[in-house]
Structure 1
Amino acid sequence: MAGDTSDTPLQAPPADLASLLGRVQQAGHRRESVSLGAILDSVGRRSFAPFLLIAGLVTLAPLVGDIPGVPTLMAMLVVLSCVQLLAGRDHIWLPAWLLERRVSREHFVKATRWMERPARWVDRLLKQRLVRLTRPPAHLPVALTCLLIALAMPPMEVVPFTANGAGLALTLFGLALLANDGLMALLGYALTGGTLALMILNLT
Structure 2
Amino acid sequence: MPDPSSSLSTVVSPDDAVEPRQRFSEVLSDLAGRSSPTISIGNVLDAFGDRAFGALMLLFAAPNVLPLPPGMSAVLGAPLLFITAQLMLGRSTLWMPHFIRERSISRDFFTLLTAKLSPTLHRAERFLRPRLGMLLHPLPERIVGAACLLLAIILFLPIPFGNIPPAFAIAAFALGILERDGLATLVGWLSAIGSLLILAAISSAILAGINAFFDQLWVILG
The residue aligned with 1:18 is 25
Task: Compute the TM-score of the two structures, normalised by the length of structure 1.
Answer: 0.77
The residue aligned with 1:159 is 160
**Which of structures 1 and 2 has the bigger CA Rg?**
2
Deviations 1:69-108 (A, max 9, x none): 4322333222222222333332222234433444343232
Tell me which amino acid in the other structure corresponds to 2:159.
V
CA contact (8 A) 1:53 1:175 kept: yes
Of residues 15-24 and 125-134 in structure 1, the stretch that sits farther from structure 2 once superposed is 15-24
Q: Distance in 1 between matches of 2:71 and 2:84?
A: 20
Given the alignment of the two structures, is residue 80 of structure 1 paired with residue 69 of structure 2, yes or no? no
Which of 32, 40, 51 aligns to 2:56? It is 51
Tell me which amino acid in the other structure corresponds to 1:200.
A
Q: Distance in 2 between matches of 1:102 and 1:83?
A: 22
Q: Distance in 1 between matches of 2:73 and 2:33?
A: 22
Deviations 1:105-140 (A, max 9, x none): 323211211222222211111122222112222211
CA shift, 1:194, in A, is 1.1
Tell me which amino acid in the other structure corresponds to 2:182.
G
The 5-angstrom pairing of residues 20-169 of structure 1 reads: 20-26=27-33, 29-31=35-37, 33-44=38-49, 47-61=52-66, 66-155=68-157, 157-160=158-161, 162-169=162-169
Q: Secondary structure at the match of 2:152?
A: helix
> Identical aligned pairs, as a percentage?
25
Q: Distance in 1 between matches of 2:28 and 2:53?
A: 16
Q: Distance in 2 between matches of 1:80 and 1:45?
A: 17
Deviations 1:128-160 (A, max 9, x none): 2222112222211111110110111122x4321
Of residues 180-189 and 192-201 in structure 1, the stretch that sits farther from structure 2 once superposed is 192-201
Task: Compute the TM-score of the two structures, normalised by the length of structure 2.
Answer: 0.71
Q: Which runs of 4+ in 1 moved over 4 A?
A: none
Q: Secondary structure at the match of 2:126?
A: helix
In structure 2, stretches of 5+ residues that fail to align are 1-20, 205-222
Q: Distance in 1 between matches of 2:39 and 2:49?
A: 16
Q: Distance in 2 between matches of 1:73 and 1:45?
A: 25
CA contact (8 A) 1:23 1:42 kept: no
Q: Secondary structure at the match of 1:115?
A: helix
Q: Secondary structure at the match of 1:200?
A: helix
* Greater share of helix: 2
CA shift, 1:56, in A, is 1.7
Deviations 1:138-190 (A, max 9, x none): 211111110110111122x4321x31222211111111112221111111111
The residue aligned with 2:195 is 195
The residue aligned with 1:183 is 183
The residue aligned with 1:10 is none
